[in-house]
Amino acid sequence: MEAAQEAETLVPQFQLETLLNQDQGGRRVTLLGKIKLQPALLLAERAAFHTASQALQSFSSNLTTIQDLGANDIYHWYLASSSPSSASPDCKLTLIYPCTEQHVKKYSQQGVRMVTETPKIYTDHVRPYMQRKREEGRLNWVFNILEGRAEQEDVLYREHGEEGFLVSPDLNWDRKTMTSLHLLGLVERRDIWSLRDLRKSHITWLKHMREKFLDATISLYPDLAKDQLKLYMHYQPTYYHFHVHIVHVALEAGSTQATGKAFGFENLISQLETIKGGQEAGMADVSLTYFLGEANELWTEIFQPLKEGQTASGG
């Protein structure tokens, strides 16, 4: 008991000298300081949310100083304090309203499966699925940005024309910490839904776009160098309009940068250069392996039925 009491008195004696490190979301910090003139490291991590039913029932009503960060279609973003005693906002909120059943599935805890999408599976099942989602209006919020109807205050850089694109901050970035920089590059052209649409004929365009994304980022943040930036795409992407993630190489590699989700921009160009065939040969002609949640419609409608020898959805 005496040893425990002594240990509890150490933390209040910590005298800060400098911040050594922090994670992407500011949830963990590493501090250097002294206790009784001796060097000390203090590693601090925010506690997890209370998930007891009573705590969750009162969670939203206990939020204070809610600050609007913007909205687009059904998506709304805020900063808020989790309690009246919070000196500054300590929660980043995303409100999806009204949400769909697919949103509920996407954000529910679920098992994960690795799948291999062959060219035939893509052509017969996945491509029709993509088309169905586009026709359901799932890209309205993207087109709102591209056409200047929403989130224009968040557009950091824009070029129009045949190689037109814009750059905006990812909502998971605090817009201050350079080592956690995360931007999104949206192209204006609408004929490329995902990396599956890329062909050998697109190689020159892709090389130009890579340089444009890098140059735009460096112009926005001159303290960065090109070799401190990483460009990648997701497959499957969250939405079927071609976009590129631009991140600092020091950004913590979570599941969004994991094998089976992220495809490096430069590696993609190299793969296109080595694919056999004419200018129309491309990523639609290769097999891709990636992971899916068990509640994902691609799993329930296509890959699970195929695994079980049943008929898969055609879109």
Report the DSSP pairing between strands 182-187 and 165-169: antiparallel
Concerning whether 248 is annotated as a catalytic residue, the answer is: no
Of 149, 242, 155, whose CA–CA distance to 195 is shortest?
242
For the chain, the C-alpha Rg in angstroms (whole number) is 23
Q: Distance between alpha carbon 133 and the CA centroid of its chain, in Å?
A: 20
> What is the SS3 assignment for 291?
strand
- CB within 8 Å of 305: residues ≥ 6 apart: 311, 312, 313
Inter-CA distances, 23 with 31, 45, 174, 251, 254, Å: 12, 10, 11, 8, 11
H helices present in the chain, as ranges: 2-8, 53-57, 59-62, 101-107, 119-121, 127-135, 140-146, 203-220, 265-274, 297-298, 304-307
Rounded CA-CA distance 147/76 in Å is 19
Inter-CA distances, 118 with 165, 239, 287, 288, 296, Å: 30, 20, 4, 7, 18
Which backbone phi and psi does 81 adopt, to 5 degrees? -100, 135
Three-class SS of 150-172: CCHHHCCEEECCCCCEEEEECCC
> What is the SS3 assignment for 1?
coil
Rounded CA-CA distance 6/268 in Å is 57
Catalytic residue among 182, 234, 243, 248: 243
Task: Report the catalytic residues.
Answer: 243
